[in-house]
Structure formats: structure tokens, C-alpha cells
A and B are shown apart, each in its own frame.
Chain A
Amino acid sequence: MRRVSTALLSVSAVVACAGLTACNKNQSGPSSGAIQSGPLPSGNHALPPAAAAPADDGNWTMPGKNYASTRFSALGQVTPANVSKLALSFTFSTATTHGYEAPPLVVNGTMYLITPFPNYLYALDLTKPGAPTKWVFKPKPLAASQGVACCDTVNRGAVYDAGKIFFNTLDGQTIAVDANSGQQVWRTQLGDIQRGETITMAPLVANGKVIVGNSGGEMGVRGWIAALDEGSGKLAWRAYNTGPDKDVLIGPRFRPFYASDQGKDLGVKSWPPDAWKIGGGTVWGWVSYDPETKQIFYGVGNPGPWNPDQRPGANKWTTGVFARDVDTGQATWFYQTTPHDLFDHDDINEIILADIPWGNGRRPVLFRPARAGFFYVQDRRTGQVLSATPYGYVNAYRGVDLKTGQMIPNTDKDPKQGRVTRDICPAAPGLKDWNPSAFSPVTGLVYIPHNNLCMDFGAVEANYIAGTPYVGADVKMYAGPGGNRGAFTAWDPINRRKVWEITEDLPVWSPALATAGGVVFYGTMDGWFKAVDARNGKLLWRFKAGSGIIGQPISYRGPDGRQYIAVVAGVGGWAGAVVSGKLDPRDPTVALGFANAMKDLPMKTTAGGILYVFTLPR
């Protein structure tokens, strides 16, 4: 993609993207198909840092696969040549029918499944035919927590470390369970549903700490991230994402790269008086970790309420990325992707660690396919933005100024209280929402499952009542240019361009899985589980599941030495709430306006929660 420079700004301009998008849309319309639009990257491409992405042992112990969050399996038995023979090995019903966003975990012959509310944890014995249940742990979260969970009662995954499984419950607890016996080791209450706090994210365990953050950005909560001692569950530190520096754990080590993030108590000063106390900034997405520098990286959610006229200011430290020391929680840098967020563009998406060719050596960076629609490459030591390129259609922003790091707004799209602003792209769930991409060190490409949605946004005054929604927006979403509501894009992070793209009729709400065999997997909301060629996006195999797929696919080596692919089908989440919550899409504002774009979903799939496991025949 060409770069536009002016005397004043060095801008990755949306104009250039529009040209590129047009190149890739020769197969427009709601049908799905792949287009190859460029050569493969040469050998000198991005690689994950070895310390954060150790050699694959055939297990899958954390949602991101490793601390670098590559979601890449080094298993290579399944290839483009044989994937068409992939066959069902076994299935399992989770006894839940809400949105299933979590990956299965596999540890030494046992598979672990964490369900949406009521957050059952199952252990299945992979060493026996049919994978019988070893045990089930039922944490019994409060039923009332379902009433303060903004976008279906999902859970994004458990994590395994040192003999224990760690997971969060919708009513705000973190629980450690013995991986062999299924007995509880500890549980710690972190969130308070009376204030609208839930926990839906998957914890990350790093350096003896269990890292957890809260959800509730649509309920006027105050966002935080916390670390619990892995052995005892005791709170080690908690950092808020709004408020005075002492609460945010901003101290002498904090060195943000850009001037706009420097200053004392910006988490108070960039808000109207006291608004930071109910200003959101939650942590419901993904955390990555660099073992070399002992830093965690995570994105911060939207400020509340959505109505931006009620919170003049930059609203720090919302909709940005924090780097923190894992042991103390002390912030080391912050970058605000969209100061004074206008569109609910949470910045919680996955953060992939990579080292890219730079001069004569390599530079440690982060890859961030952000909700606002730009693919960021940032130095992970400082937060400096090296590039920010739209990976789909964006008209809400004009680009990113690489000198100041600032997003350049498109003022035509500013929502104002008492009026409806139309045709804002991307819509509130962003060009891409929570569902993570996969990064293959074999191809050097990032496989991005994402949306193509625009919205009308009517800002109205929100009234804060603790434990109830604090939004102040009537939103209506619809398909973006081309008419397809989703896409699956292979992105070259070095040359900043699409290599190929598959257009999908429905938003792609499932995460991606890349494998060393050269096959990439993802699911669709109407229930197709697809295998495509990592090099050109050609559809190689597909399987129709009993419910729409928004769960994360994984690949593991079974006790018999064979490579398995596993995914749970269970439509729901924000995009699928119209099915899992039995909502009525005749009202266009349903599910914060998402259901208007999903009126056909109830005819295309039904609710469920079923594990599917595939392998090649012997």
C-alpha cells in the first residue's frame, strides 16, 4: 500500500485503503469466495519472539496458544493436500445455549471446556474412546449476573498452568481448580454485580500471577486489571484504567512515547469532574506477555457513556494500550488509539508479539488489528507507532499521524446529542471485535476474522444508576460497502497490505487458527467450520455445525500421535445475541443496534453449545 506524505503529516491515508479495498472487492456481494491479489512474502518476514512462543508440545494451554498470542499450531499433519479428508472424531454437548467464545484447552491427554454462564468446567479424557467426562466443576455464579452482562453471557476461555485450571465467572470471581481432580483450590471475588461488573475475559498466567480484568463498559463501571497470586489467589495488585496516577499504578517507570499521554493525573484531568469514577475503561479482551522484559500488554475498553457529549476530554486511559510490569503492575507505557472515543471502539483486541526485520537487525513490535479499523505495528519497548494501516473500509477516521501518534478524526462523523449521525464505518463493534486473529510464522501473515458493518448513531442523554446500563445511544447497524457483513483477511504486516480476502455474508465472529501444515481454520455464524489455504485463501474443506460458530478453534496432538482440530459451535455474543437471547429484531436498536444487521440470523442458525473434534482417517 502506498504511503501518503504531506509537508505537515505523514499519514496512512484512508484514500489509499479505499483503492486497495476496491482491488480486493472484484468479487463483491454476499457470496463467499477467495481472491489472491499478491505474491507471498519473501523469507525475511516477521517472527514471534522465541521466549514468548516456545516450541509446540502438542498441547493448547492458553487461548492465545502462547504469550505472543499467535494462535498458531506447529502441527503439520493436516495439509492443503489432505484436509478434504478431515473427519469427525467425537462430539460433546456442553448443556449450554449461550454464545460460546472460548477455545477448548488440551493438556497431556485431557481436554478442558469452559462454558458461558453458568460457567461449567468440563474435563474430557482424550485417552479413551469417545472422550468420556472425567469430571465437571460447577462454580454456581449468581443468576442475577446475567442481567448485567452487556452482550450475551459469554466466557472467553480458561488457562492451564502448573497443574491448575484458572477461569473467571460471570459474577466476578476468579477460580483455580486442580486439573487432575477437578477440586477447587481457591476462589477470589473481584467484581461486584451491584455496580454492573462482570468478568468475561480469559485470564493469563505469567510469572506466578493470574491476570484478570473486568467487563461492564456499558454499565458505568470503573475499569481495572488485577493480578492474583497463582498459588493462593490473593490479590497482588490492581490497576484502575481511570482516576489518579496512584490508582492507575503510574509511577517513575511510566514513559509514554507521545506528549499527549504525558502529565500528572491525566486519568482525572481528561474527564469532567468525577466522570472517571463511572467512565468505563474495562479489560475484557486479551493480555499478552513478554517474558524477556516481564511486561504484560493489554488493551483498554470504551469510555462510558457512549454519548460522547457527556464526557468532554480525552478520557484517559480508555481505548488504548497499556504496558505494565507483571510483578508490580506499574505502567511502563500507554498509547491512546482513539482519545475521546466517539463510537464504542474499545481497544481490547488481541496483541500479537513479533520481531520484524528493521535495518540490519530486528525490532520487537506488537501487531494490533484494532477495532477502529487500523492494523497497528508498534514498538513494544516504547509504544511508538511504526505503521497504522486500514485493513478494511473506514470512514470514521482519516488516518493516523505518525509524528504525534494521534488518530485524525473525520469530524463529519462526530455524534452530537439530539441528532442521528449516519453511515459511520466501522460500526460500534469495529472493523474487528474481540475475536482474535492468528499469526503464522510460516507465511508471515496475520489472518484477521472481522466485520464489515456501518451504523447510524443517535446520541441521547444517559442517566447513571448503578447496576443498570449507562450508554446513551440509539444505534442501528447494517452491512458496509459491498453488502457483505464480514470478511476473513490475510494481512502482510510488513508490507502493510492484504494478500487475500474472503468475503463472508455474516460478520466473522469466530477467532482464527493457523497451522504449520498451511491450513487456516475459522467458523461462520451460520455454522460452517472452514479450512482454507494459508497461501491463497482457497476453500479446501468445510463442515456444517449444529449452531453458528463464534468459538475459537484449536489444534492439538492426541494421545495417539495424530493432529486434531477442535472447535465449539454455539452462536451468540453481541453479534448473535438475537439468537441466543431470543431477541426481537423488529426493533432496530436491539442489542445496542447490532440486531438490525442480523435480522436473518434466526433463520440461518439456532442456539447450541456443541464441541466438534476432527482428525484425518488412519
Chain B
Amino acid sequence: MSSRFRASILAIGLAALALAGCDREERHSRAKPIGETVPAGESPDTIWPGGTQPPPLDARAKLYDNNAPAIAEGQFLYTKMNCVGCHSHGGGGMGPPLMDDEWRYGGRIDQIAASIAEGRPNGMPAWRSKLTDDQIWKLAAYVRTLSGQPSKDAVGSRSEGMSSTTPASLTPREPAHTSDTAEQ
């Protein structure tokens, strides 16, 4: 084995280590498929009476949150499903902003998924019958990029808007909201 070849192996190994360190995404190409018939989401509520505790973060969250392919597909759906028509590129319009630090119905990824799936009474449509569970979770993963929640290497550095919208990698991170329990 030549020293040059050993150096290459070393370089590849280091690169692999560096990539692993980024924790950019977790792909599950051999894992069990995600059950698409399971309703998405979690209650947006923060008061659990009688000393009961809010449920823990949905187990599916880690499959989507901070996951570059999921975020990229969510971004595509955000435009194609007309989310952009109401929420613009995060600043809102007919619907509330998604780039600020206010979450009416919770800013946890499972709470966002619940809002998309079930709709909300002041005008948010219920998308449960139009999108699969997997698509809803991908959308929720992308929505969290609008307030800069995922790490910068999981999001795109190209602006998806035509007119001077900021690329996701430059989106400032908003402070976690009180209901955003995953961040506390």
C-alpha cells in the first residue's frame, strides 16, 4: 500500500468524521416506512390541568427536524400547496407570520404539523385529506426554517423567492417561544 493511498484513506476518513459531526440529516433508507395513516401532530395547548404533563415530543420529530432532504421537500410543497400565498416567505399576509417568535398554536415541529393537518379555526385550512402525513411533517420541518430554527447546514443557501427574499441559511434565529417546549 503506497503512502499516497494511505493518505487518501485518511483524508476520506477525516471527511467522513467531519460529515458525521455535522449531524446534518438522518436518512432511513432501510428503516421501516413511516406510517402515513397515523394522524400528525400534538396539542398546541400549554395548560395540562391537575398536575398532568404535556406529552413528550412526537417520536417522528427527529426524522424531520433539522433534516436537509425533508426541509428541501417541504420547501417545494410550501410553494406548490400555496402556503406561500397566505404566509408569504415567512412574513405572513392572509395568514400570520411564520418567521417571528409568536406561535399561536405552538412552535414545536409536532405542533406545527398538527396545525397543518387539522387546520385552525380563524382561517387555516385542514390539509389532512389533501397531503400525506409524511408531506405534512416535511412542511412542518420547512416552516421551522423560516424562523431560523434548524442548523444552518441543513437549509438551503439559495433564496426560493423571486424578489429579494433572504436565503434560509441567512435567516436569523428567533428566540424560542414559551410554548416551544422542545427548545427549553
Contact = CB atoms under 8 A, between A and B. Distances in A.
6 contacts: A147-B94, A467-B125, A584-B92, A588-B164, A589-B89, A590-B88
B88 A148 contact: no
The 5 closest A-B pairs by CB, nearest first: A147-B123, A458-B162, A469-B85, A587-B91, A590-B91
Contact of A150 (B88, B94, B164): B94
Contacts of A419: 162
Given A147-B124, A218-B85, A584-B99, A591 B93 contact: yes
A420 B159 CA distance: 14
Nearest to B82: A468
Contact of B90 (A459, A460, A465, A587): A587
B96 interface: yes
B163 interface: yes
A313 interface: no
A588 B165 contact: yes
User: Which residue of B88, B164, B165 has the most chain A CB atoms within 10 A of its CB atom?
Assistant: B88
Nearest to A468: B82
A592 B90 CA distance: 12
A595 B94 CA distance: 12
B6 interface: no
B163 A143 contact: no
Given A584-B100, A587-B91, A460 B125 contact: no
B14 interface: no
A458 to B, nearest CB: 2
B94 A587 contact: no
Interface in B60-95: 79-82, 84-86, 88-95
Given A147-B125, A471-B85, A460 B162 contact: yes
A589 B88 contact: yes
Contacts of B86: 147, 468-469
Contacts of A474: 89, 161-163, 165
A283 to B, nearest CB: 20
Nearest to B125: A467
A468 B91 contact: no
A585 B91 contact: yes
Contact of A469 (B94, B96, B122, B165): B94
Contacts of A148: 94, 123
Interface in B145-184: 161-166
A467 B163 CA distance: 25
Given A147-B125, A458-B163, A584 B93 contact: no
Given A147-B94, A584-B99, A592-B93, A420 B85 contact: no
A420 B92 CA distance: 21
Nearest to B97: A584
Interface residues of B, number: 32
B91 A586 contact: yes
B164 A465 contact: no
A282 to B, nearest CB: 16
Given A145-B123, A468-B85, A470-B85, A589 B92 contact: no
A475 B93 CA distance: 12
Given A150-B94, A582-B96, A589 B123 contact: no
Given A147-B122, A468-B85, A584-B100, A593 B95 contact: no
A587 B95 contact: no
B121 interface: yes
A476 interface: yes
Given A458-B163, A474-B163, 6 more contacts: A147-B94, A469-B85, A577-B93, A582-B96, A583-B93, A586-B91
Contacts of A457: 163
B18 to A, nearest CB: 33
Contacts of B28: none
Interface in A447-506: 456-460, 462-463, 465, 467-471, 474-476
Contacts of A96: none
A244 interface: no
Given A458-B161, A588-B163, A146 B91 contact: no
Nearest to A418: B162
A441 interface: no
B161 to A, nearest CB: 5
Interface in A232-287: none
A40 interface: no
B130 interface: yes
A579 interface: no
A30 interface: no
Contacts of A583: 91-93, 96-97
Contacts of B122: 143-144, 146-147
